[in-house]
Homo-oligomer: A and B are copies of this chain.
């Protein structure tokens, strides 16, 4: 018998995070939902769970942009990435019909991604809420009629709601990127094709341009960059960078040159590019 894997996620069960945890780890898992991403990271750090699944890049939950900072502060390791196609569905208590729905609640970004659907259904008022799956939970628990949630198929399944309209998002081919986190650096079975980095540089003229030119010369192709002012040192900046790796040796050489000339490099994770 396989060992049950313990996985931490932010938010309630039935969320996109929950869906990714099952896709990635299979059914033999125990999922722990935490209120904040900070608590998720802490649960990995303290060994309460084996892994965390964390959204890191997308358009649905704005609040995920600071997650690299959380990963850094809790000394976690990015072991893999996973892409989930965004699929928003309108769901309500079983037996309800689309014509009886007067209001739909969800995360503001989810509602925004379904704006064409709501333009076609002006009788349904779209109202911002804190989360997608949370609304599904409340509707199911309090048996609220006339109200719908915009959430994942997983949420409908988990809370026993009926889907009244499927895939109501405006943009097709839109994915959310999740990362898998652990406390320990894993032993790599294959050469990594992607890495997440934290680089702290002095605020010298053009230092970022120079640093990125080095990366480009060593065939490192950036997929994400984000600056964070260093709290305790007003003139220093930290950059969180994701990069594709064409050749592992070139990657090592680039990091060496950046360390020598431009700033301190911390590798948050080396893993396989899944896109």
Contact = CB atoms under 8 A, between A and B. Distances in A.
A221 interface: yes
Nearest to A173: B234
Interface string A54-98: 000101001101100110000000000000000000000000000
A39 B212 CA distance: 37
Interface in A209-226: 209, 212-213, 215-217, 221-222, 224-226
Contacts of A65: 62, 65-66, 226
A53 B224 CA distance: 28
A212 B206 contact: yes
Contacts of A66: 62-63, 65
Given A212-B206, A229-B57, A231-B171, A108 B36 contact: yes
A39 B126 CA distance: 12
A264 B226 CA distance: 20
A174 interface: yes
A124 B232 CA distance: 26
Chain A at the B interface: mostly helix, strand, loop or mixed? mixed
Nearest to A130: B130
A236 interface: no
Nearest to A38: B108
A265 interface: no
A269 to B, nearest CB: 18
B208 A222 contact: yes
A112 interface: yes
A228 to B, nearest CB: 8
Contacts of A38: 108-109, 112, 128
Interface of A: 35-39, 57, 59, 62-63, 65-66, 69-70, 108-109, 112, 128, 130, 171, 173-174, 203, 205-206, 208-209, 212-213, 215-217, 221-222, 224-229, 231-232, 234, 239
